[in-house]
Structure 1
Amino acid sequence: MPRAGRCPVRRCPGYASRVTRLHDLAITVGAAREMAGHPIVVGISGYGGSGKSTLARALIDLIPDAVRMRGDDFLDPSRSHRRSATWAGVDRSQLVEDVLRPFREERPSTFRRFDWAVRDLGEPEDVPAGQVLILDAIGLFCPDTDDALDLRVWCDVPLDVATERGMARDARLGRDHVALWRDVWMPNESDFDRTFAPRERADVLYTG
């Protein structure tokens, strides 16, 4: 059985496969699950606006017995709206200890997602069971999660392009986040890049 945190389809350290079609990515996920011999966690990351959530929603429909976790459910808005070189607003500790490791080890656990309607943590929920957990989140590929992700997929969109897309999306939704994108989120991404090199940690670079 592959060591925890190792992608069984990675060929050598520092190498990432480039995938351009959703169907091929689904095949890669299936192969990783087959080789692992246990339920796996697929992390999807990238810059804000790079298409992480869109990819996760599309992928889950192609993977048998898959469940999805949204990274937004593990964001602390008070901290995620501040400058941070480590994306401190992402509660990676709860993600790993309460969700990812229990899922991979097939043991019961509960977690509390952030309820954006009331801006507070919700009631405890059971971690869903399945064979593949797909998690899309910013600030995901770093030492905090190294041993809890079986396959790392990076949405390979340049920072400036992703930021433009994210700002356009927010404008369509009536959200005035221009200052946050310019003064907080884009600098946070650049700092996280320099600190952790998340793209280089990926097993798959997705450009579909």
Structure 2
Amino acid sequence: MELPELIQRIETRRHEAARPIVVGVSGYGGSGKSTLTRQLVARLPGAVRIRGDDFLDPTRSHKRSSDWDGVERLRLVSEVLTPVREGRSSVFRRYDWGRGELGVAERLPYAEVLIVDLIGLFHPDALPSIDLSIWCDLDLETSAQRGIDRDAGMGRIHDRLWRDVWLPNERDFEDQFSPRTRADVVYPMSD
């Protein structure tokens, strides 16, 4: 599948729903979720991106868990996904990484298509609130190396976290929830 075909699939889903829709983009850390999401938002009229990193708990996301416990899916669903799908206004709070706490409440922007990219998104707590799920299909080892390289390029050396926490979390989540098979679209990512 190429990008124009994916965009058409989203447009079709939006017209079928006759209401605002939520598109979830997930994949392993480093697989290209944010890149794909930015490309989609740039090409889809009325699309808005919500960064999944705004819904991570920094303490829990740096610890081992079998279900990516540090992903605050219930907060994402209640503050963002449900209000968008219901076409109502809401406020949400991004995690302020600089201050180490939730930021001030801000108005949820209106979106005809809301696209959220996040690890561990295809979980039973969030999937019912997603109208179209897209899996960024790149193998775990390549994704992780890209993530490690990206972090190093920003001066963040997270090698131990990748090796001891994030890669095992990815494997456990995959074993428990099979996110790739739950996706409506498996989108090939280049390595």
Query: Normalised by the shorter chain, which TM-score bucket?
Result: over 0.9
The partner residue of 1:200 within 181, 184, 187 is 181
Query: What are the within-5 Å matches in structure 2 for residues 77-116 of structure 1?
Result: 77-116=58-97
Query: What are the within-5 Å matches in structure 2 for residues 158-169 of structure 1?
Result: 158-169=139-150
SS in 2 for 1:155: strand
> What is the deviation of 1:146?
2.0
Query: What are the within-5 Å matches in structure 2 for residues 103-142 of structure 1?
Result: 103-142=84-123
If the length of structure 1 is used for normalisation, what is the TM-score?
0.89
SS in 1 for 2:135: strand
Q: Deviations over 1:137-176 (max 9, x none)?
A: 0000011012100000000000011011111111111111
SS in 2 for 1:147: helix
- Of Structure 1 and Structure 2, the greater helix share is in 2
2:141 is aligned with 1:178: no
In 1, Cα distance between the equivalents of 2:157 and 2:112?
39
Paired residue for 2:131?
Answer: 150
Report the AA paired with residue 184 of structure 1: V
Paired residue for 2:57?
Answer: 76
RMSD: 0.8
> What is the deviation of 1:88?
0.6
In 2, Cα distance between the equivalents of 1:202 and 1:119?
32
Report the AA paired with residue 123 of structure 1: V
In 2, Cα distance between the equivalents of 1:76 and 1:32?
31
In 2, Cα distance between the equivalents of 1:60 and 1:95?
19
Identity of aligned residues (%): 55
If the length of structure 2 is used for normalisation, what is the TM-score?
0.97
Name whichever of 170-179 and 186-195 sits farther off: 170-179
Q: Deviations over 1:35-55 (max 9, x none)?
A: 111110000000000000000
Report the AA paired with residue 96 of structure 1: V
Paired residue for 1:58?
Answer: 39
Report the AA paired with residue 28 of structure 2: Y
Paired residue for 2:19?
Answer: 38
Q: Structure 1: 5+ residue runs without aligned partners?
A: 1-18
In 2, Cα distance between the equivalents of 1:97 and 1:117?
24
Report the AA paired with residue 168 of structure 1: D
Q: How many residues align?
A: 189
In 1, Cα distance between the equivalents of 2:57 and 2:15?
35
In 2, Cα distance between the equivalents of 1:74 and 1:130?
19
